[in-house]
Amino acid sequence: MNKEERMKDFIVRHLEIVRPLGKDCSLAWWENALTGSEEAAERAASLSAKLMKIYANKEDYAFLRGFSAADFTDPYIARQHDLLRRGYQGEQMSDEMIEKMVSLNKEVEQEYNTFRANVRGESWTENDVKKVLLDSDDSELRKDAWMGSKEIGARVADRVIELVHLRNEVAKEHGFANHYSKVYALDELDEDRVFRIFQELADLTTPAWTEWKHEFDAAQAKRFGISIEEMRPWHYPDPFFQEPPNSELNLDRLYADKNLEDLTRSFYAAIGLPVNEILKRSDLYEKPGKNQHAFCTDIDREGDVRILCNIRPNDRWMGTMLHEFGHGVYDLYTDYSLPYILRGPSHTLATEAIAELMGRFATDGIWLRLYAGASEEESKAIDAVGHQETKVRYLILTRWFLTMSFFEREMYRNPEQDLNSLWWDTVEKFQGVRRPDNRNEPDWAAKIHLACAPVYYQNYLLGEMFAAQLLHCLRNDVLRGKPKEALFTSPEVGRWLKEKIFHQGNIRPWEDGLKFATGEYLNPKYYAEQVK
């Protein structure tokens, strides 16, 4: 057998084990997310450990290291080899370490899944907390809700730090500075370049952010009868100040009597990306014990794509539905004739780009007229203020993404430092939110991503840049000469996304894929135009 044939044989044998095991693992995690079941969590953790041990196999990793791209004539074999090699490299650790990390991660995730805030003796969901922070004029109630939402941090912080140490230990054994740098290196991201871009965005947005934030703080202080200096985290629209305040147009009223499933179905069908199959398998409403967040999962890379949400008929959840189904159509409309390993997104940031592109439409005046029943007059009024509100939304998102990315990198660089202070130092630097007085609690650990989706947040900001570039291409090339409504009604949108993005799967690195679709590598200028 020549080298290419040996690699093909390895892939076949590898997938005979990994495909069914991966599907069973996905189904177990799905059950756990829906129910909070300890039995499902144990099963999912056990299956995850089995998968990790496959990729931790030292002999297989040595085999993969014995090849280079020059050994293959088939570019698909070369790409699969590259992905497998990096996948194995990322999991090189002992069975004991795998068991320890998976067990600890399972414990922590269970804590987040089943947590409900204790607010004045009552059990509150995340939706309940966010509603108070959006709408209530009662400062003391807001403070109690915010404090209650942070209680999860103290419960899990020690175990999250332990996970950070374990991840760093594995990374350093293989020559990486820490786990954060390891993930970048294995995920086709240049850490120095990414943080140069992030710092440029920080500098670029600081003047606009400072001006808007001062005006917002002044209005909030007046609302609550306090001085600007007395503003604290519970005076902002959500527990982390990652979402914009209520629109002055009160878009929630447009959704109050709407079925968000129907709106989602209608929109995606109109642009040539029907989602009926995803809706059939999804779980979209609140339940006891259910994970309170939202996510999309591709169970088997064969069409079983599902969404978990906890929707209520409001603006925020409409945006979330469009966002998550953006992930869903990327997975559903992949090219199933591609090799299994190459199916699906070219990178996490690429699927985030599609999700973020779709999610932004929930506040667009034209979209609201077409799908949510806004009148022509309302649509024009929304668009009249929408430009400024869009800028505000992206300013808030940008500063939040920067907060998370810079904090997490420093946490992995030195997990022994005072992380409670580091968190508030970073929040104050990028978001301008004053820390609570006389508080020394692990408020950072209330963010589930830091524990259970480590080194992920950079993908949101990079994904927003990717999305801005796609939107520019759609408007100026694909739909050139067509009315603005075409972005929300034309099957050409879905056709182009399928041809240029979804069907390409993971056959090339993500930035080469972006150039294939738009003619350019990642160009931050399109995103910068939205926020400067």
Question: What's the pLDDT at 287?
Answer: 92
Mean pLDDT of the chain, nearest integer:
95
Mean per-residue pLDDT for 170-182? Answer: 97
Q: Look at 256-265, 387-396, 435-444 and tell me which has the smallest mean pLDDT.
A: 387-396
Q: Of 138, 10, 82, 150, which is closest to residue 444 (Cα–Cα)?
A: 150
| Mean pLDDT of all residues in 473-495 | 97
* Each residue's pLDDT tens digit, 330-364: 999 999 999 999 999 999 999 999 999 999 999 89
> What percentage of residues in the chain have a pLDDT greater than 70?
100
- The CB-side HSE value for 53 (13 A sphere, CA atoms) comes to 15
Token pair in block for residue 326: 């953006």
Report which of residues 114 and 497 the model is more confident about: 497
Query: In Å, what is the CA distance from 506 to each residue of 82, 141, 298, 333, 501?
Result: 11, 48, 15, 13, 9
Q: Specify the pairing of strand 122-124 against strand 305-308.
A: unpaired
Residue 12 DSSP SS3: helix
Mean pLDDT of 302-308: 98
Sign of the Cα torsion 431, 437, 440, 443 reads negative
β-strand pairing of 295-298 with 305-308: antiparallel
Token look-up 């020549």 returns 2
Q: What pLDDT does 244 receive?
A: 87
3-class secondary-structure state, position 469: helix
Whose structure tokens read 């000469």? 481
The helix/strand/coil state of 305 is: strand
Q: DSSP 3-state helix, strand, coil percentages of the chain (rounded to 5)?
A: 70, 5, 30
pLDDT band (50, 70, 90) for residue 162: very high
Which residue in this structure is represented by tokens 């085999």? 63
* Phi, then psi, of 307 in degrees rounded to 5: -120, 135
Q: Confidence class of residue 494 from pLDDT cuts 50, 70 and 90?
A: very high
Band (268; pLDDT cuts 50, 70, 90): very high
Stretch 223-243: mean pLDDT: 96
528 falls in which pLDDT band (50, 70, 90)?
confident
**DSSP β-bridge partners for residue 122:** 119
Measure the CA–CA gap between 243 and 129, rounded to whole angstroms: 14
Sorting pLDDT into bands at 50, 70 and 90, what band is 384? confident
Looking at residues 373-385, what average pLDDT do you find?
A: 89
pLDDT bucket at 306, cuts 50 / 70 / 90: very high
Nearest CA among 201, 190, 193 for reference residue 524: 201
Q: Of 515, 519, 179, 529, give the one whose Cα is nearest residue 350.
A: 515
CB-based contacts of 159: which residues, under 8 Å, 6+ apart? 104, 107, 108, 451
What tokens were used for 119? 């607010």
| Predicted TM-score (pTM) above 0.85 | yes
Q: Is 373 left (phi over 0), alpha (psi -120 to 50) or beta?
A: left
Band of pLDDT at residue 421, cut at 50, 70 and 90: very high
Rounded Cα distance, 319 and 370, in Å: 15
pLDDT band at 382 (very low <50, low <70, confident <90, very high): confident
Asked whether the beta carbons of 124 and 142 are under 8 A apart, the reply is: no
- CA torsion sign for 17, 23, 24, 25 is positive
Residue 269: per-residue pLDDT: 98
Which element (helix H / strand E) includes 117?
Answer: strand 117-119
pLDDT band at 1 (very low <50, low <70, confident <90, very high): confident
Tokens, residue 312 = 């209520």
* pLDDT greater than 80 at residue 326: yes
Q: What percent of the chain has pLDDT over 90?
A: 90
Cα–Cα distance between 244 and 290 in angstroms, integer? 26
Residues 464/274, Cβ–Cβ less than 8 Å: no
Cα angle, residue 510 at apex, residues 471 and 62 outer, rounded to 5°: 165
Q: Are 205 and 531 in contact (CB under 8 A)?
A: yes
Give the separation between CA 30 and CA 35, rounded to whole angstroms: 9
CA–CA separation, 102 vs 96, rounded Å? 10
Reduced to 3 states, what is the DSSP secondary structure of residue 353? helix
Residue 294 has pLDDT above 90, yes or no: yes
Residue 158 pLDDT grade (very low, low, confident, very high; cuts 50, 70, 90): very high
**11-41, pLDDT tens digit by residue?**
999 999 999 999 999 999 999 999 989 899 9
Instruction: Assess whether pLDDT exceeds 80 at residue 281.
Output: yes
Q: Which residues contact 433 (CB under 8 A, 6 or more apart)?
A: 231, 232, 233, 236, 241, 427
Q: What is the DSSP letter of 200?
A: H
